[in-house]
Amino acid sequence: MTFTEIASIALETIKSIVLLANNNNGKVSPSILRLDDLAGLRAPVEDLGMVEAFVYESSSRPVRAVNPLPLRGMSHLGAPLDFIGIDSSARHVETAAAGMIVSAVSVSGHGPVELADWPPVYEYEITVPPGPPFIRILPNTVEPSLPELPPGVTVRNPAGLPYDRDYSMAQALDEARVELENWAISMVPTFKRSSSRFIVFVDGPLFTVPGALAEPGAPTSVREAWRVLVARRVEAVRKVEGSGGVVIGVVKRLSRSRILSKAIRNSACGDAEGQTDEFYMLRAIASQCTKWFPGQVYKSVKIGVRHSNLPGVPLKIAEYVAIPPGAWHGGPRGLLLVRLEYTEESLKRLRAWGLEPIHAYSLASIALGSRLPLPLLASDRRARSISSALRKLIAVESMRIGIPLDYESLIEEAGERWRRAAAY
């Protein structure tokens, strides 16, 4: 699939929106604010306290300073490692007749997986098998009747249930990202690699479980969609591990989750009950309850996290890493806090290679002059570029043929024009 073909699909989508509006004679929903957007069902269960957390491996201190890289270097590994990063992006354009979501996922790494995207707008040698839909239509009309849609476009959620005017746009954006990431993770074992040992970094939680799966009042369509997505994520992770690889989720937003304080209430760093993970790590570092030397990073004890309401989701292990500012890792920037998530199977495989998760993370980041894994950063930039280009195409073409956009879409379009003008 070429960019011309993708652009043609986007234009066909706009024509479908025009037909949708004409078929309903202007009978659209009185508000494009969907009711489910206000229900607060998007938050991860880790942020809502709906998980069981316990100390997976005991340690004298909950947070300590460690050397981020293997002391023996890479020579003891016996074989090279491939580092692969997966990230996705989704954006939306809202009109009176329907909301449109465009999404993209990117895979970056060594050798033949250096460029692999869906939709594949760049020209490269790898032929990526067709992935999930990258354009979604959420009708705002009373009767959401649409003509036959081009490939890559859907009006149904991952569970196959139709979108309607009450379906949460925010939920659909999350669904689009996770569905593409699930597909990308499952595709990694099929790529040719330079090594049989490979580590896949995924932006965000290893298993994305939103509050919609734990809230009894959540809409059935949303709950069923996430049941499918979580099951596919578990299947994709097991497929990678079955192929000899390791999957690590990298979570950067820690301002609401309370996993550490749930697992460790009292410690050498003080009472921690009710504190967020971010505050817990910052206080432990500020209290100097662990000695630190230049070149070291802070690492928490390993925490086991179990989703008790989802028996099909395996136990995952969470480990917090704090990288202090310093010239040795690329400049005097602020402290970086991340949470690494992985399964017991991935931990066993890393240790069989002579590595800890902190080593795997640092070899793909700090050792290369970055604080985040470079393959992950590359995938983030490319996925955002693709989704931004598709959103721009749909927004401009919609305005050209007279389809009115909502205020938020107009502001975003105006902001992009301002940023481009300011760049010159």
* pLDDT for the residue numbered 105: 94
Q: Which residue has the tokens 């043609």?
A: 8
The per-residue pLDDT of the chain, averaged, comes to 80
Q: pLDDT: is 101 or 308 the higher one? A: 101
Range picked from 216-225, 357-366, 389-398, 411-420 for highest mean pLDDT: 357-366
pTM of the model: 0.87
Structure tokens at 252: 């950067």
Among 112-116, 141-145, 214-218, 418-422, the minimum mean pLDDT is found in 418-422
Q: pLDDT: is 357 or 214 the higher one? A: 357
Asked whether residue 305 falls in the same domain as residue 379, the answer is: no
Asked whether residue 268 falls in the same domain as residue 156, the answer is: no
* pLDDT for the residue numbered 157: 92
DSSP label at 208? -
Does the pLDDT value for residue 3 go beyond 80?
no
Asked whether residue 93 falls in the same domain as residue 211, the answer is: no
* pLDDT for the residue numbered 242: 94
Asked whether residue 64 falls in the same domain as residue 91, the answer is: no
Does the pLDDT value for residue 32 go beyond 60?
no
> Minimal CA–CA distance to 44: which of 272, 230, 239?
230
Does the pLDDT value for residue 47 go beyond 70?
no
Does the pLDDT value for residue 11 go beyond 80?
no
Count structural domains, the chain. Answer: 2
Asked whether residue 265 falls in the same domain as residue 393, the answer is: no
Asked whether residue 2 falls in the same domain as residue 118, the answer is: yes
- Compute the distance between CA of residue 284 and CA of residue 269 in angstroms, rounded to an integer: 6
Asked whether residue 98 falls in the same domain as residue 118, the answer is: yes
Q: Find the radius of gyration of the CA atoms of the chain.
A: 23
99-143 confidence digits (pLDDT tens): 889 999 999 987 666 678 888 877 665 666 788 999 998 887 655
- Compute the distance between CA of residue 106 and CA of residue 89 in angstroms, rounded to an integer: 9
Asked whether residue 366 falls in the same domain as residue 220, the answer is: yes
Asked whether residue 403 falls in the same domain as residue 330, the answer is: no
Could you tell me the pLDDT band of residue 31, with boundaries at 50, 70 and 90?
very low
247-278 confidence digits (pLDDT tens): 999 999 888 888 888 888 765 555 666 788 88
Cβ within 8 Å of residue 279, ≥6 positions away: none
* pLDDT for the residue numbered 256: 83
- In contact, 157 and 23? CB cutoff 8 Å: no
Instruction: Write out the residue range of the structural domain in which residue 392 sits.
Output: 1-29+86-191+374-424
How many other CB atoms are found less than 10 A from the CB of residue 23? 15
* pLDDT for the residue numbered 269: 59
* pLDDT for the residue numbered 375: 93
* pLDDT for the residue numbered 98: 81
Which of helix, strand or coil describes residue 263?
helix
Does the pLDDT value for residue 305 go beyond 80?
yes
Helix/strand/coil percent split, the chain, to 5? 40, 20, 40
Average pLDDT over residues 399-421: 66
Asked whether residue 204 falls in the same domain as residue 163, the answer is: no
* pLDDT for the residue numbered 48: 62
Q: pLDDT: is 367 or 216 the higher one? A: 367
Asked whether residue 153 falls in the same domain as residue 7, the answer is: yes
* pLDDT for the residue numbered 199: 94
Asked whether residue 211 falls in the same domain as residue 307, the answer is: yes
Does the pLDDT value for residue 14 go beyond 80?
no
What is the biggest distance separating any 2 CA atoms in the chain, rounded to whole angstroms?
71
